[in-house]
Structure 1
Amino acid sequence: MKLAFIGTLGLIGALLVGEPTKAQPAEAEPRRWAACPAEVITAPFVAQCTTVTVPLDYRDPDGATIDLMVSRIAATDPAKRRGILMFNPGGPGGTGLDQPAFLLNKGMPASVLASYDLIGMDTRGVGHSSPVSCGFTADDAYWANIPPYAGDTAAVTAQSKIAAEVAQRCAANDTDGRLRHLTTANTARDLDRIRAALGEKKASFYGASYGSALGAAYVSLFPDSTDRIVLDSNLADTHLDRDSLRRYARGFEETFPDFAAWAAQRHTAYGLGQTPAAVRRTFVTLAERLDRTPTADGFNGAHLRYLTFAGLYHPIQYGATARLWQSMLNPATAPVPTPETPGAPSPVDNALTVYLAVTCNDVAWPKDLATYQRDVETDRERYPLFGAAAANIMPCAYWKHEPAEPPVKVDAKGPANVLLLQNRHDPVTPAVNAELLQRKFGKRARLVTTDGSGHGVYVLSDNACALNLTTSYLVDGRMPTRDTTCRA
């Protein structure tokens, strides 16, 4: 991003969006709650849903509007009820109507449910909240969060053609002009509108992964109407930019040894190597072999790298990842994939559309192909396991819209009400992200780091210390007095 561009947008942003960041007064009119859509799984908890109307464009608050669907699992103890706790599961593009029930089913303590109405939602553009679509089909050769591993500069050039086509398709399918308004800043403003619509003076928030960026934006824009904020598995700022995306490769390198040690201990079962170093060699050798000679159904080294990256998200997935490697080492045992129906809608069309829109709208991305080719070469050497994928070119290089405003700046002024949670080894949001974010918050934030591995801390990791500290903060307001490392 050029400095002149930043300065110009900073001035325009101050003029255009200063007013909408004021907290909205709590709405007195009661909400009408009804049964949630049938596909929203909240069992065994009773959830109800409602819609909240918000401006499509906060620069034009009296213009077009969109409806957001919100879910609620009511607090179980009115005498202890503190208020509302809103959730975001990440993405951007992840559906969140079922997020409270998901975390409760994972073991979120009953004391949290006694203290809060748990509020899930589909953020703007997602699911039941005025959904958007780029028209992706099931047989599209595009990747969700990151493009495939690039073996050389020619592979980056080839991917650039796919990225350009994706951006053009999104623009062509954006017939009502909504994509440009999908940003982290607007979604943070939506959170404050939801708080006001529910009649609350303040709201607490739990966000994981990209939800940490949304939460950082929310508490920065609305410090006076936010209560207790928990940000889990963090991005380093209020948005996903190219630096954050390239740090996926660092997360892979830091987390892979945990899987390698696990696999080495189970060499008799999986045959992937008797030592962590041997498991690493197996991975590199297998990926390079698949680069040269894909399987009969087209499975190649890029697929292996991407699925192994995904397999590092939680140790519970290690067995499936090891089984995948086994099948590629002996293709005769590989499962036969179900063929995709050409032209059929992709099940990830909506999520991928929102992901691209928010990511590309939040900040300006490099547009010259040489930048991506150079970064791929650098990261292939720096992070050989995955760097050449995380640095590859994105549709954001060809996106139709320039950012309408600068990304939200993390505000170090305000109440000290931000608790950061972070695993030391995280494949997608490495620990350095949380350290960078904490520096921006300054005295407003405390950092709890676990010795664990994977993506997600609160109730998703098996760490009693982190669970206890977070629950105490949400329920009793006891913020750790200092940054804390929770041992395994």
Structure 2
Amino acid sequence: MRRRRTAVRATALAALVGLAGAAMAAPAAAQERERGPVPSAAGPAWGPCPADVVAPLVDLRCAPVTVPLDHREPGGEQIQIMVSRAASPKPEKRRGVLMLNQGGPGGSGLAFVNDLVKRGLPANVQESYDIIGFDTRGVGHSAPVSCGFTTDQDYTGNIPPYAADDAAVSEQAAIAKDVAQRCAAHDRNGHLRHVSTANVARDMDRIRAALGEEKISFLGFSYGSALGAAYASLFPGRTDRVVLDSNVGDTHLDQGGIRRYGLGAEETFGDFARWAADRHGTYGLGATPEAVRATYFSLAARLDETPSAGIDGRVFRLATFAGLYGPTLYGVTAATWQSLLTGGTAPAPVPPPGPSPSDTMFSAFIATTCNDVAWPRDVESYRRAVAQDRERYPVFGAAAANVLPCAFWPHPPAEPPVAVSGEGPANVLIVQNRHDPVTPLRGGQLLDEKFGDRSRLLVENGSGHGVYVGVGDSACALDTTTAFLVGGPLPPGDVTCG
């Protein structure tokens, strides 16, 4: 039975621009929760990190951990997951290990602890844990996958382009189909189908065992919330403290999760509009939030018809969406609008032809998203969704509902997505901004409902993507999350900060 909440209100001081049914089901979650590798006495062979892993603020060491490519065949082909460790500077205060995920999926996580320290990760958190980062399978130094993306390919990654009409949906469908075919053609070793959130969660448990730990704590942002929810559901007894910040709403990103980008943009746009209206004398975007909103739509429509210096309406909408990721980006966003209004924006530099530096990131995102759950296969369903969300969420909805390569993915999911489990220790803190353009509040609420008595929901009355450590300026959210991580109890009820 769902617990009755007692809201705890707190006053507070008030990252950018991440098939038909299952062919083979995995073992039931209840069975999986009973097994897992035992801790190793030897531990990883720590040494210098790869040369491209830059972490000047922490003493970072790296080591590979061997895991099965297919966890259903533990004795089959093996791959290596590259892991990093920033050891506690005060071992006498060490609580255990804190594993990190920065989101994506697709970005390298080896140096993420350095980013958190730069943003102000409290010293008592650093002292309480050996902090563990890792490149998820398919990424960076962990058996990277490639779809062969090049710099001249018309693909915008994890966010499809805005579809102004039905023809734009058809155009994107052709691009998405080509991307899916490219991925299949470049998957020469058969690894692509094994890149999934469930498998990354199982890799995490192999890392835990290699570290010699009975339990791990976890701090994940954005997509990291889905990964953390999957691990806490598959291995609840192996979790100590779990913090999920800026939440997808489940253990995977499906069509509904992507479409919530439209909801998030709609809810967050008003914060930027109020900011810009207060600075109308500087930027000239409108003296009221309503006037700023009108400027957005008129400028987007104008750029749809007549691009300015290579920037069309799709690029303008995407740039504005990225500009909603936090108030620190509002100035750049406003200045870009201002320049477009006066026709002064210089064209973006065109990269030389060749492999895209985003190849692995885009490829891992697509593989994870398409392998985790079955997506609609008919273009007409996307056309209906785009038309619906263009009306419901006019700021960005017609992009969020557009076609991804998952509509043409060559592999059906190998197993059903991990179901969020309410069975296990009450040790999950869900942290969420009230307004978030990519993981709106509804995602945090959904995940909290699914965890039931295991979780508490902390809502910061702030705006942007990310809450903990240097993203917002809430003492309440910082103090509550830090106290929980270093050993304090889960709050007795939900918390509202601000």
Taking the aligned partners of 1:30 and 1:169, their CA distance within structure 2 comes to 39
3-state SS of 1:457 partner = coil
Unaligned 5+ runs, structure 2: 1-18
CA distance in 2, matches of 1:234, 1:49: 29
| 1:323 corresponding residue in structure 2 | 335
The answer to whether structure 1 residue 229 and structure 2 residue 242 are counterparts is: yes
Q: Which residue of 2 aligns with 1:265?
A: 278
What's the counterpart of residue 439 of structure 1? Answer: 449
Counterpart check, 1:415 vs 2:425: yes
Match of 2:59 in 1: 46
Tell me the CA shift for residue 14 of structure 1: 3.2
Kept in 2: contact 1:327–1:335 (CA 8 A): no
What CA distance in whole angstroms lies between the structure 2 residues aligned with 1:249 and 1:67?
37
Q: How does 1:83-482 map to 2 (within 5 A)?
A: 83-297=96-310, 299-331=311-343, 333-342=344-353, 344-459=354-469, 460-482=471-493
Counterpart selection for 1:24 from 27, 32, 37: 37
**Which one is further off, 223-232 or 38-47?**
38-47
CA contact (8 A) 1:26 1:201 kept: yes
What TM-score comes out, normalization by structure 2 length?
Answer: 0.94
Per mean C-alpha deviation after superposition, the further-off stretch among 263-272 and 11-20 is 11-20
Report the alpha carbon displacement of residue 349 of structure 1 after superposing the two structures with TM: 0.7
Contact 1:67 1:129 in 2 (8 A): yes
One-letter amino acid matched to 2:391: E
**What root-mean-square deviation, in Å, do the aligned CA atoms of Structure 1 and Structure 2 show?**
1.5
The residue correspondences of 1:53-68 to structure 2 (distance < 5 A) are: 53-68=66-81
Asked if 2 retains the 8 angstrom alpha-carbon contact of 1:16 and 1:59, the reply is no
CA distance in 2, matches of 1:217, 1:120: 17
CA distance in 1 between partners of 2:467 and 2:378 (Å): 38
Once residues 415 and 30 of structure 1 are traced to their aligned partners in structure 2, the CA distance between those partners, rounded to angstroms, is 27
Q: Give the TM-score normalised by structure 1.
A: 0.96
Contact 1:149/1:305, CA 8 A, preserved across alignment = yes
Gaps of at least 5 residues in structure 1 are none
1:296, CA displacement in angstroms?
3.9
Query: Are 1:20 and 1:189, in contact at CA under 8 Å, matched by a contact in 2?
Result: no
| 1:434-487 deviation digits (Å, cap 9, x = unpaired) | 111111000000000000000001112111100000000010232111101000
Moved more, 98-107 or 209-218: 98-107
Letter in 2 for 1:371: S
1:486 aligns with 2:494: no
Aligned residues: 479
Identify the structure with bigger relative contact order (alpha carbons < 8 Å, sequence gap 6+): 2
Question: Which is further off, 82-91 or 288-297?
Answer: 288-297
Question: Given that residues 308 and 345 in structure 2 are in contact (C-alpha distance below 8 angstroms), is that contact kept between their aligned partners in structure 1?
Answer: no
Structure-1 separation of matches of 2:489 and 2:93:
16
Aligned counterparts of 1:40 and 1:335: Cα–Cα separation in 2: 33
Give the drift of 1:21.
7.2
**Cα separation, 1, equivalents of 2:337 and 2:218:** 39
CA distance in 2, matches of 1:476, 1:15: 32
Where do 4+ consecutive residues of structure 1 move more than 3 Å?
14-21
1:74 aligns with 2:87: yes
